[in-house]
Amino acid sequence: MSAGSSLSSPARPRGLRVRTTLRAQFTLVIFLLAFLPNLVMTLMAQPALPSGAIIAWMVLVGATCALVGFVLSGALLTSVSRLRAEVMRGQFGEPHHDDPLEILSLRQAFTDLLGRLSTEQARRNAFMATLVHDLKTPLIATGHLTKIITTMPVPDAERRMMGEQIQAETARLLALVQQMADAHRFEQEQVQVRLAPADLRALLEEVAARVATQAQEQGVQIRVSGHGVAAADAPVLERAVTNLTVNALRYARTHVTLEVTPSGLTVTDDGPGLPAPLDELAQPFNAQPTTIAGQQYTSGTAGLGLFIVRRIAQAHGGDLHYDRVPATLPEHPPAPPPDDQPAPDPAALTRFTLSLPEVQS
């Protein structure tokens, strides 16, 4: 036989394993506990009886022990059989008065598992709803603009403006698809990072330069401060900071500050802050819609960026934190927001901290 054929041949089982039911095992144990003492006492007594009579007697005793074992095992496993039937029907929430502690624990484990499965299914449904809604919106807008450009006489200035709108909708669509793909991948597996000494100040300046055009269009000032070096995967960490910065620009009124601190990197803005705890929002496929600064976000979209940032921070040995910090009131306060949006607290700033294990200044 060749080496190739020997490698492809199936492995033989080391021993023969016969699968039996739990009731059969209980019956066997009870049978042995009852029959063996009778067998030993009979052999030790050495009765003056024919061997055929002794054998018949032992067969009768053995059959009786087996029957008793079968009946007792069924009684012992009544709660298990009942739980199995209830699990098959999907109705196992209510315990029974005669359930032993082990069955109660097993019933609770099944209930918890069903709850987690229901939560996961709700998140998946939210993901599909988000995917359909948020992909359809920019596609519809792009389709309308394309139809106008191709079928109607449009001045060059308006044509250029519509082309820019198409590019903006396409960029938004690609960013959303990338976020969803990243969130799904990061939920299933660990974020792979290659740690090396990274200049955190240079990283923040790179992020600030990348979003400078967007900040200028929105009239928001970006500041960079602090110095430090840490072991990090610079491209991956820069991506996380970019997510936080773009999110801050979306809600900031006047300024966004990127800072290197002894605990890591912070992104601070003078926006309204989060409407719910970070742990609740930083979920890849949240089933509930979220309202931030008067803007409604469909289920699943509000927490995609925060979830990605948190996973990247955890891959670096840190985490993502959120708090509101006191602010110094500006000499010339900005204009108030529209009537349909709540005014943010001018004395508090929104701060996200991407903590890192060790930052050297």
Q: pLDDT exceeding 70 applies to what percent of the chain?
A: 78
- Give the closest residue to 264 by CA, choosing from 183, 334, 222, 201: 201
Place 175 in a pLDDT band, splitting at 50, 70 and 90: confident
Yes or no: say if 349 and 327 are a contact pair by the CB < 8 Å rule.
yes
What confidence tens digit (pLDDT) does each residue in 226-261 have?
Answer: 999 999 999 889 989 998 998 899 889 999 999 999
The domain segmentation of the chain, as residue ranges, is: 20-109, 127-188, 196-330+344-355
Superfamily (CATH) of domain 196-330+344-355: Histidine kinase-like ATPase, C-terminal domain (3.30.565.10)
Do strands 229-232 and 196-199 pair parallel, antiparallel, or not at all (unpaired)? antiparallel
Yes or no: say if 130 and 303 are a contact pair by the CB < 8 Å rule.
no
- Give the closest residue to 103 by CA, choosing from 70, 76, 74: 76
- Distance set, CA 62 to CA 31, 35, 39, 65, 71 (Å): 8, 6, 9, 5, 14
What confidence tens digit (pLDDT) does each residue in 6-51 have?
Answer: 444 445 555 556 678 888 888 899 889 988 888 888 778 777 778 7
- Distance set, CA 340 to CA 207, 295, 337 (Å): 32, 10, 8
Q: Which residues contact 47 (CB under 8 A, 6 or more apart)?
A: 54
Neighbours of 225 (CB within 10 A): 12
What confidence tens digit (pLDDT) does each residue in 54-89 have?
Answer: 888 889 989 999 999 899 988 888 888 888 888 788
| pTM over the 0.75 mark | no
Q: Pull the structure tokens for residue 208.
A: 């600030």
Q: Please give the angle made by the CA atoms of 92, 188 and 127, to the nearest 5 degrees.
A: 75
Angle between helices 304-315 and 234-251 (to 10 degrees): 150
